[in-house]
C-alpha cells in the first residue's frame, strides 16, 4: 500500500502514555480543576492576547474548545497533531470537525493545492476539476448521476430541500429528533423536549428563525422508532422528503440498518423522497459512505467535509430526474442555486487528491478506522464499567461522542444533560493531558492516528476520568 506522508515540521508530542494509578496529588478535592486551569492559562499567553483582539472586533468566533477564559488558538497542524500559537502540541481529535480523514496537511493534498495555486485559485468560470470530482462521487454512490457543488454542508442541505420541494410539488420536509442538518432556517428546527417522544413537536433552534418554519413547513420524526413510519404515512400528501443522518452526530452508532431499511420502504410506498445527509459520514464510514455500509439507496445524498480535502465544500448528488431541478432540463421546474465560490478550482484540486487516495487505499484505510474507533470505544467503556463511571463512548467507526449518564442511550432524548458541568470539566482535563476535542464534543480519528497515538489518547481519557473523581465530580 502507498504510504501517505505529512508535511515536515518540528512536531514533538509533549503528551506521553502514563500509568493510570492515582497518586496522592490526584486526590486533592477540587485541586485538579483549579490546577489544570492555571496550567493552561499560564502556558497560553498568546492565545489570551488574541482573544482580546477577537473580542474587540468579532461578533462570534469559531466554537470554543474548553471552559477557559479564552479559546486555544491553533497556528499549525501536522498529521495527528495541532500546535497552538504558544507552541503547545496536542493530539488532535477534532479532524477539522470531521473533514480530515487523512489527518492534517497530508502531502498529497498539500501538493495538489500548491500546483493549483500556480495556475490560479478562483476563476468564477468552470474549470476541469468539477467534472473530475463529480466522477469520483458517482463512483462512490450508485444513485448518483449528476452532482451540484456548493460551499458547505449547510448549503447542500438547503439546496436539497429546495430541489425536493420543486420536484414533488409538496412543501413539508421531515427531520428526525436529535438531528443536525446545517445553519439555514429550515434545518434549525429541533424537537420540543416536552413533547411526546413518539410524535415530537418541532420548534425553532435559536432566535431569528420564523416560527412558521417548524409549524407549517417541517415535520419532526422520532429517531430509531417505527412510529416514524406511521407519521410519514399520515403526512404523505404534503411531505416532499424525509432527511436523515445515517449516523447522528449526537448519538453515533451503526446498528441502524433495519430501521433505515424500513424507512426506505415506507418512503417508497408513500411517494416521498429520502435524503441521506452524508455531510459527515460520506467518505468517512466507508468510501461509499453509509449508502455502502447499510446497502441502502436513498433518492438524494448531500456531502461536505471530507470531499473537499479540508477546504470548504458541499454537494448535492442524485439521479438525473431529480437533479434536473438545478438546470430545468427536460421541463423540470428549475430552482435558483449558485455561489461565487461554488466548485472553485482550489477546492476541486484538494478534493480530487484526497478522494483519489481514499479510493486507491480503501481496503486498508476503512478497516483501520473502524478497528481503531471500535477499540477506543471498547477500552473506554470497559474502563468506565470497571470503575463505576457514569459515561459511555458512543461510536460509529472513527466518529466518537462521549456521553455522561447512567441510562441506556437509544436516541438523543436519552442524553442526561444534568452532567453538563462534569462534561465541561472532563474536556478541560483532557486538554491538560494534551488531547484536544472540539467544543461540540464529537471527536474523530484519522488515517494519521496510528496505534500508538490512539493509545496515548485513550490513556488521556482515563486520566481525565480520574481527575474528575479526584475533584469529587464523579
Beta pairing class for 81-84 and 74-78: antiparallel
Tell me: the pLDDT tens digits for 345-358?
A: 999 999 999 999 99
Residue with cell 451503526: 254
Angle (CA) 151 153 157, round 5°: 110
Q: Does 3.40.50.80 match the CATH number of domain 24-106+362-470?
A: no
- Give domain limits for the chain: 24-106+362-470, 120-360
Known catalytic residue: 81? no
- Whether 305 is a known active-site residue: answer yes
pLDDT in tens, the chain (474 residues): 545 554 443 333 333 333 333 333 433 346 888 999 999 999 999 999 999 998 889 888 766 667 788 899 999 999 999 999 999 999 999 999 999 999 999 999 999 999 999 999 999 998 999 999 999 999 999 999 999 999 999 999 999 999 999 999 999 999 999 999 999 999 998 888 889 889 998 899 989 999 999 889 999 999 999 999 999 999 999 999 999 999 999 899 999 999 999 999 999 999 999 999 999 999 999 999 999 999 999 999 999 999 999 999 999 999 999 999 999 998 888 999 999 999 999 999 999 999 999 999 999 999 999 999 999 999 999 999 999 999 999 999 999 999 999 988 888 888 898 998 899 999 999 999 999 997 778 999 999 999 999 999 999 999 999 999 999 998
The DSSP secondary-structure symbol of 26 reads G
CATH of 120-360, one of 3.20.20.80, 3.10.180.10, 3.40.640.10, 3.40.190.290: 3.40.640.10
In the numeric block, the cell 477546492 is attached to: 347
The C-alpha angle with vertex 243 and arms to 239 and 244, in degrees rounded to 5, equals 140
Q: Say which of 84, 92, 277, 434 is annotated catalytic.
A: 277
Choosing from 305, 419, 434, 471, the catalytic residue is 305
Find the catalytic residue in 73, 180, 293, 303.
180
Catalytic, 417? Answer no
C-alpha cell at 179: 438531528
Sign (positive or negative) of CA dihedral 455, 459, 460, 461? positive
Nearest to 359, CA basis, from 447, 305, 287, 290: 287
Mind listing the pLDDT tens digit for each residue in 129-168?
A: 999 999 999 999 999 999 999 999 999 999 999 999 999 9
150's enclosing H/E stretch is: strand 146-150
SS3 content of the chain, % helix, strand, coil (to 5): 40, 15, 40
Q: What is the pLDDT of residues 7-64, one digit of tens each?
A: 443 333 333 333 333 333 433 346 888 999 999 999 999 999 999 998 889 888 766 6
Amino acid at each position: 500500500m502507498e504510504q501517505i506522508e505529512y508535511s515536515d515540521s518540528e512536531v514533538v508530542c509533549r503528551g506521553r502514555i502514563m500509568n493510570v494509578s492515582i497518586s496522592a496529588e490526584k486526590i486533592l478535592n477540587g485541586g485538579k480543576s483549579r490546577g489544570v486551569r492555571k496550567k493552561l492559562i499560564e502556558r497560553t499567553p498568546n492565545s489570551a492576547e488574541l482573544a482580546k483582539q477577537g473580542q474587540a472586533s468579532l461578533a462570534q468566533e469559531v466554537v470554543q474548545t474548553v471552559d477557559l477564559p479564552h479559546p486555544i488558538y491553533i497556528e499549525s497542524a501536522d498529521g495527528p497533531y495541532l500546535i497552538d500559537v504558544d507552541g503547545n502540541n496536542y493530539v488532535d481529535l477534532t479532524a477539522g470537525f470531521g473533514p480530515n480523514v487523512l489527518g492534517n496537511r497530508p502531502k498529497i493534498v498539500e501538493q495538489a493545492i500548491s500546483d493549483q495555486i500556480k495556475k490560479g485559485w478562483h476563476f468564477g468560470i468552470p474549470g476541469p476539476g468539477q467534472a473530475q470530482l463529480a466522477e469520483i462521487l458517482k463512483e462512490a454512490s450508485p444513485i448518483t448521476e449528476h452532482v451540484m457543488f456548493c460551499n458547505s454542508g449547510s448549503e447542500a442541505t438547503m439546496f436539497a430541500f429546495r430541489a425536493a420541494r420543486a420536484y414533488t410539488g409538496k412543501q413539508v420536509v421531515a427531520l428526525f429528533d436529535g438531528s443536525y442538518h446545517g445553519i439555514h432556517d429550515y434545518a434549525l428546527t429541533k424537537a420540543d423536549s416536552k413533547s411526546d417522544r413518539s410524535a415530537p413537536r418541532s420548534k425553532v433552534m435559536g432566535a431569528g428563525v420564523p416560527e412558521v418554519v417548524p409549524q407549517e413547513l417541517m415535520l419532526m420524526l422520532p429517531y430509531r422508532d417505527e412510529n416514524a413510519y406511521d407519521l410519514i404515512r399520515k403526512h404523505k400528501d404534503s411531505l416532499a422528503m424525509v432527511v436523515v443522518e445515517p449516523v447522528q452526530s449526537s448519538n453515533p452508532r451503526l446498528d441502524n440498518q433495519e430501521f433505515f431499511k424500513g424507512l426506505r420502504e415506507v418512503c417508497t410506498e408513500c411517494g416521498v423522497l429520502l435524503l441521506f445527509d452524508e455531510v459527515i459520514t460520506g467518505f468517512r464510514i466507508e468510501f461509499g459512505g453509509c449508502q455502502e455500509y447499510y446497502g441502502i439507496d436513498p433518492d438524494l445524498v448531500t456531502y461536505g467535509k471530507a470531499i473537499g480535502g479540508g477546504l470548504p465544500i458541499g454537494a448535492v448528488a442524485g439521479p438525473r430526474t431529480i437533479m434536473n431541478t438545478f438546470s430545468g432540463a427536460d421541463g423540470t421546474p428549475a430552482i435558483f442555486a449558485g455561489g461565487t465560490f461554488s466548485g472553485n478550482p482550489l477546492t476541486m484540486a484538494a478534493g480530487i487528491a484526497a478522494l483519489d487516495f481514499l479510493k486507491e487505499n480503501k481496503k486498508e484505510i476503512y478497516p483501520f478506522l473502524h478497528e481503531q474507533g471500535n477499540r477506543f470505544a471498547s477500552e473506554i467503556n470497559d474502563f468506565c464499567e470497571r470503575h463505576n463511571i457514569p459515561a459511555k463512548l458512543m461510536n460509529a467507526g472513527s466518529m466518537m461522542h462521549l456521553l455522561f449518564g447512567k441510562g441506556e442511550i437509544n436516541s438523543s432524548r436519552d442524553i442526561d444533560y444534568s452532567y453538563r458541568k462534569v462534561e465541561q470539566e472532563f474536556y478541560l482535563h483532557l486538554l491538560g493531558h494534551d488531547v484536544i476535542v472540539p467544543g461540540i464534543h464529537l471527536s474523530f480519528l484519522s488515517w494519521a492516528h496510528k496505534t500508538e497515538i490512539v493509545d496515548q489518547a485513550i490513556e488521556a481519557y482515563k486520566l481525565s476520568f480520574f481527575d474528575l473523581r479526584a475533584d469529587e465530580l464523579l
